[in-house]
Structure formats: structure tokens, C-alpha cells
Amino acid sequence: MHKEKSLLEYKREAREYKKALVGLTTTVLTLENAIDEQMKHPWCIKRDTAIASIMNGLTLANHMAMHFGLGYSFKKINKLYGNTEKGGENGPSKKR
């Protein structure tokens, strides 16, 4: 039989979700600021490499939020990003 959660359990879960969201938004803001800082520099390979590294951090933060926060499987996340089981393009899939 399904046991009903207590109010305390719901409050604890809410605190955990809030903590995870604070972590996610802090990471995103930090990485957005880093991208803005890199964009102030003239174009060069070093700048592009730095921006690619920052974007990898954003992708990782997003994957963690999807998996641990939303409960998405890695297979579903890969599908959302347009990746196949054997690999594929990086980034969200684009439908045109």
C-alpha cells in the first residue's frame, strides 16, 4: 500500500530542491559572467577555447539539473541534445 508523505518529508524535499536550484542558478550566473568577460577580448583562438570551456560547464550544470533535479535518464538527456547512443552532435537539437 502507498504510504502518504508527511508534511515534514515534503518540507525536506522542498529544501533540497531549493538548494539544488540555488546551486544551478549560481553556476549559470557565474558562467554567464565569464562569457561576458571573454567577449570583451578581441577574437582569437584562446578566447574561443575559453568560451568553449565555459559552455561545457553550462552544459554539465544543465545535465546535472535534468538528471538529479528532474529525474531524466541520461538516455533522455542525450536525446534532448540530439545525441545518439553512439555519440553525435553537441548541443540541443535544432528543428528547422
Under the banding of pLDDT at 50, 70 and 90, the label for residue 85 is low
Amino acid (1-letter code) at residue 6: S
Closest CA to 61 of 88, 36, 34: 34
4-19 pLDDT, tens digit per residue, is 889 999 999 889 888 8
Contact predicate 81/93, CB 8 Å: yes
6-63 pLDDT, tens digit per residue, is 999 999 988 988 888 888 888 888 988 999 999 999 999 999 999 999 999 998 888 8
Contact predicate 69/27, CB 8 Å: no
Contact predicate 82/91, CB 8 Å: yes
Under the banding of pLDDT at 50, 70 and 90, the label for residue 95 is very low
